[in-house]
Amino acid sequence: MRGTHPRRTVATVGVAAAGLVLGHWLAYEFGAAHTQEREQLLRAGAHAYLPYAVQVAVLTATLGLAAVFLARLTRREANGSLARDTARLASLQTGAFATLEIGERLLAGASLHDLAHGRLLVIGLCVQVAVALCGATLLRLTERAAELAESFGRSPGLVRPRSVATPAILTIQPSPRPTMGSVESRAPPSLA
């Protein structure tokens, strides 16, 4: 069985990072029902990194998708599987989400009790799986777009540049000079 191509791994990690941040935000939207409670949780010191994390996640996902598109277009790499991509993304995102929530609570000095017994972790894990399915679909759509671009390049109506052949070098040889008399002598011809 072939291993995953490095570009595919970069894309998977990029999409997982973006999915993690999106799923984190959605978990707090769904998990903290009261607007005041949600705003208080998101403004907590442990969430100060979120604006930067969003920027990094979007950049990483964009670069990863571009890598998948170009790899599929130029190297004719095999497509991924929706189920396999969903499983990879879901495992990355759910593990990272749980670690993130534990880390945020430790940084804020909060108890882990509310995480273990509250509904936010369960909602967050479910949201991460749903977002992972969307991310896997995005990977497949990117591959499909590369396939379409490739097939457009092969269409018979498309004019492709012809290869340029080096022109043949013509060798021009001067015609023999007309001679009057013998060739051995450089003197004027004799009249005799």
**Range among 7-11, 83-87, 116-120 with highest mean pLDDT value:** 83-87
Mean pLDDT of 17-38: 78
Rounded to 10 degrees, the C-alpha dihedral 20/21/26/28 comes to 110
Instruction: Tell me the pLDDT band of 135, cut-offs 50, 70 and 90.
Output: very high
Q: Which pairs with CB-CB distance under 8 Å and at least 24 residues apart come from 83-90? A: 85/12, 85/135, 85/136, 85/139, 85/140, 86/132, 86/133, 86/135, 86/136, 88/12, 88/16, 88/136, 89/12, 89/15, 89/16, 89/19, 89/132, 89/133, 89/135, 89/136, 90/128, 90/129, 90/132, 90/133
Q: How confident is the model at residue 102 (pLDDT cuts 50, 70, 90)?
A: confident
pLDDT at residue number 25 = 84
* pLDDT at residue 36, rounded to an integer: 65
* Predicted local distance difference test score (pLDDT) of residue 34: 63
Mean pLDDT, residues 90-94 taken together: 95
Residue 150 has a CB neighbour count (10 Å cut-off) of 13
Task: Please give the Cα distance from 97 to 31 (Å, whole number).
Answer: 14
User: Which residue did the predictor score with more confidence, 20 or 113?
Assistant: 20
Which of 12-16, 29-33, 176-180 tops mean pLDDT? 12-16
Res 153: pLDDT: 67
How far apart, in whole angstroms, are the C-alpha atoms of residue 96 and residue 103? 10
CA angle 2, 8, 10 (to 5 degrees): 130
Could you tell me if 154 and 58 are in contact, meaning their C-beta atoms sit under 8 angstroms apart? no
Determine the pLDDT at residue 1.
Answer: 38
| 44 to 41, 48, 107, 108, 182: CA distances (angstroms) | 5, 7, 10, 8, 111
Better-scored residue on pLDDT, 43 or 112? 112
Question: Higher confidence at residue 141 or residue 187?
Answer: 141
Mean pLDDT for 91-112 is 85
Can you give the three-state secondary structure of 161-179, one letter per residue? CCCCCCCCCCCCCCCCCCC
The whole-number pLDDT of residue 118 equals 74
